[in-house]
């Protein structure tokens, strides 16, 4: 205990001494990357030397969640520090409003004097008002821009803002490493702190790894996860098996071509690892490494055959829990291979970045300061987090769900109750069952835990009801996800959904 207090005081003292000299900040985000793609998360079949070194230098987080496990909504949450229902942003729902974007961390940092840059997959679009026109990507809101619309492309030459890198780096992953290297070089010459944000396309499908690294996993056999296959998902709700995640177990070859599929997937991550190495080398070469905080994570996870599923979106661990690393070289406990098992989420990035920059955190943000955990790994910043899926696939929203996760438990509510479906609940004791192999919802031994998780769920839903934007069809879900409302009252909300841009509130 005494040593913990001494360490915490040392960290606080170090932070205070650096208050006048603002740190540079680098935010790196991969796409569709699960935790088991990295050696520092226990996978001995993969090679991620630069990411593993980053984790050893800083802190790895073992219970980090993307509160919406799909790229558009997740990226909007990262930028703004708000849950999806407050950003109003996801596929088939609608774009982020320009007033919301103005409160994002890149905008606030630039206003405060930071030199800012963005490269990669921006991931969402902007609109001036709910009923107004779509806006161009905010290239002019950054000092250096290498971003692109939609999913972007793996061929560097086809990404307009990155075309200058195409000859030397034909695959986009390393082109982003080069972009970061060049921005760091130029920013180091300016008398301003900088914030670099890079959003890699990898490891998103279509699976297109850099052929430069074809030999890394050639002929490799990979250990399958302990919850691999259909038999490990038999206890899941009927609703969870209706989306594309279910069919992609076979469509994408996890069932009969696992090693080849995973070799390709891990090769894409290997390219990111090399790009991260390029960026860290540039920091050292420009003499700014000692004053630059690095954050690394993914926009969502990936099932890769766990529970007989592919893709992401659903509120289970492989889709929602992702790798996250922070390295702050200014602090005395860096280099001690720190780990935190505290509950953290992607709502935490924007407030953390603002706090690092010495800026106030706007009251609209839902997240907390991750650096509190860096100073004391035994601390906590959240009791629970909401996991959201209102991504509109074709047909009725059967797979829509809301869940609540704590460090040890997860509760999932599946409310769709038409067409042969019934309301379903799932409860997992993550502390004892990290692979979610046993649904404890009907177990009398977990009745107290079930009531506690339902209570937490209701609290989060009340926040949704109070804070959801009055457009883009988010208000109705305050009723749809209510455990105490009969289906007959919910069904009309689904039959006549609000259109994106509508100002009409749901009940």
pLDDT in tens, 286-307: 999 999 999 999 999 999 999 9
Pairing verdict, β 385-389 and 96-97: unpaired
> For residue 203, what are its two tokens?
């490891």
CATH of the domain at 374: 3.40.720.10
Is 273 among the domain residues? Answer: yes
| 185 and 206 fall within a common domain | yes
Contacts of 262 (CB under 8 A, 6+ apart): 222, 304
81 lies in the same domain as 185: yes
Burial code (b: 16+ CB inside 10 Å, e: under 16) for 317-352 equals bbbbbbbbbbbbbbbebbeeebebebbbbbbbbbbb
Q: Does residue 1 lie in a domain region?
A: no
Residues 336 and 416 in one domain: no
State pLDDT tens for residues 316-367. 999 999 999 999 999 999 999 999 999 999 999 999 999 999 999 999 999 9
Give the whole-angstrom CA distance, residue 489 versus residue 64.
Answer: 35
The DSSP 8-state label assigned to residue 466 in this structure reads: H
The pTM of the whole model exceeds 0.75:
yes
Please, is 249 exposed, middle or buried when counting C-beta atoms within 10 Å of its C-beta (0-12, 13-18, 19+)? buried
Number of domains in the chain: 2
Both 346 and 430 in one domain: the answer is: no
**Domain CATH number, residue 455:** 3.30.1120.10
**Full pLDDT tens readout for the chain, 507 residues:** 545 544 555 555 544 444 468 999 999 999 999 999 999 999 999 999 999 999 999 999 999 999 999 999 999 999 999 999 999 999 989 999 999 999 999 999 999 999 999 999 999 999 999 999 999 999 999 999 999 999 999 999 999 999 999 999 999 999 999 999 999 999 999 989 999 999 999 999 999 999 999 999 999 999 999 999 999 999 999 999 999 999 999 999 999 999 999 999 999 999 999 999 999 999 999 999 999 999 999 999 999 999 999 999 999 999 999 999 999 999 999 999 999 999 999 999 999 999 999 999 999 999 999 999 999 999 999 999 999 999 976 678 899 999 999 999 999 999 999 999 999 999 999 999 999 999 999 999 999 999 999 999 999 999 999 999 999 999 999 999 999 999 999 999 985 544 444 433 332
Query: Which helix H or strand E contains 101, and what residues bound it?
Result: helix 98-101
Neighbours of 449 (CB within 10 A): 18
Does 225 fall in a domain? Answer: yes
Same domain, 408 and 447: yes
* Domain presence at residue 13: no
Q: What range defines the domain where residue 435 resides?
A: 386-495
- Do 374 and 393 lie in one domain? The reply is no
List the one residue out of 499, 493, 495 whose CA is nearest residue 473. Answer: 499
- 502 part of a folded domain: no
- Cα 106 → chain centroid: 17
Which single residue is written with the structure tokens 């046993």? 438
- Which DSSP category does 338 fall into? E
The count of C-alpha atoms lying within 13 angstroms of the C-alpha of 19, restricted to the half-sphere facing its C-beta, is: 7
Strand partners, 296: 28, 325
Q: Is residue 9 part of a domain?
A: no
Mark whether 390 and 368 lie in a shared domain.
no
Q: What are phi and psi of 26, to 5 degrees?
A: -120, 125
From 371, 362, 370, select the one nearest 345 (Cα to Cα): 370
């Amino acid at each position: 205990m005494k040593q913990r207090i001494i360490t915490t005081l040392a960290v606080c003292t170090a932070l205070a001494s650096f208050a006048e000299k603002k740190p540079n900040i680098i935010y790196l985000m991969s796409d569709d990357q699960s935790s088991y793609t990295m050696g520092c998360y226990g996978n001995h079949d993969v090679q991620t030397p630069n990411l593993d070194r980053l984790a050893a230098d800083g802190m790895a987080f073992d219970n980090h969640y993307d509160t919406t496990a799909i790229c558009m909504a997740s990226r909007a949450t990262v930028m703004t520090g708000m849950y999806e229902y407050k950003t109003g942003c996801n596929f088939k729902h609608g774009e982020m409003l320009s007033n919301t974007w103005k409160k994002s961390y890149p905008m606030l940092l630039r206003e405060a004097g930071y030199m800012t840059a963005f490269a990669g997959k921006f991931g969402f679009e902007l609109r001036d008002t709910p009923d107004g026109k779509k806006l161009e990507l905010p290239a002019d809101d950054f000092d250096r821009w290498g971003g692109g619309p939609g999913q972007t492309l793996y061929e560097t030459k086809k990404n307009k803002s990155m075309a200058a890198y195409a000859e030397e780096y034909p695959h986009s992953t390393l082109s982003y490493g080069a972009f970061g290297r060049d921005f760091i070089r130029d920013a180091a010459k300016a008398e301003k702190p900088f914030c670099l944000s890079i959003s890699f396309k990898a490891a998103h499908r279509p699976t297109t790894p850099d052929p430069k690294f074809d030999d890394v996993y050639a002929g490799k056999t990979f250990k399958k996860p302990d919850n691999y296959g259909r038999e490990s998902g038999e206890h899941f709700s009927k609703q969870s098996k209706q989306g594309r995640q279910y069919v992609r177990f076979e469509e994408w070859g996890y069932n009969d071509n696992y090693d080849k599929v995973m070799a390709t997937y891990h090769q894409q991550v290997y390219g990111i690892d090399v790009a991260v190495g390029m960026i860290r080398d540039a920091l050292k070469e420009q003499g700014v490494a000692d004053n630059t905080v690095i954050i690394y994570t993914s926009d969502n996870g990936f099932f890769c055959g766990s529970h007989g599923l592919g893709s992401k979106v659903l509120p289970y661990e492989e889709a929602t829990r992702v790798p996250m690393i922070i390295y702050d070289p200014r602090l005395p406990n860096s280099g001690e291979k720190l780990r935190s098992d505290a509950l953290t989420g992607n709502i935490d990035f924007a407030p953390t970045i603002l706090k690092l920059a010495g800026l106030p955190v706007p009251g609209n943000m839902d997240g907390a300061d991750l650096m509190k955990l860096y100073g004391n790994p035994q601390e906590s910043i959240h009791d629970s987090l909401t996991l959201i899926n209102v991504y509109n696939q074709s047909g009725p929203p059967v797979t829509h769900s809301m869940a609540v996760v704590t460090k040890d438990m997860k509760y999932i509510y599946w409310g769709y109750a038409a067409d042969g479906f019934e309301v379903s609940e799932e409860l997992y004791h993550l502390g004892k069952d990290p692979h979610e192999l046993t649904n404890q919802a009907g177990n009398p031994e977990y009745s107290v835990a079930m009531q506690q998780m339902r209570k937490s769920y209701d609290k989060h839903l009340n926040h949704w009801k109070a804070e959801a934007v009055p457009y883009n069809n988010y208000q109705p879900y305050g009723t749809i996800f209510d455990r105490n409302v009969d289906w007959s009252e919910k069904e009309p909300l689904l039959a006549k959904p609000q259109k994106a841009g509508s100002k009409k509130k749901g009940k």
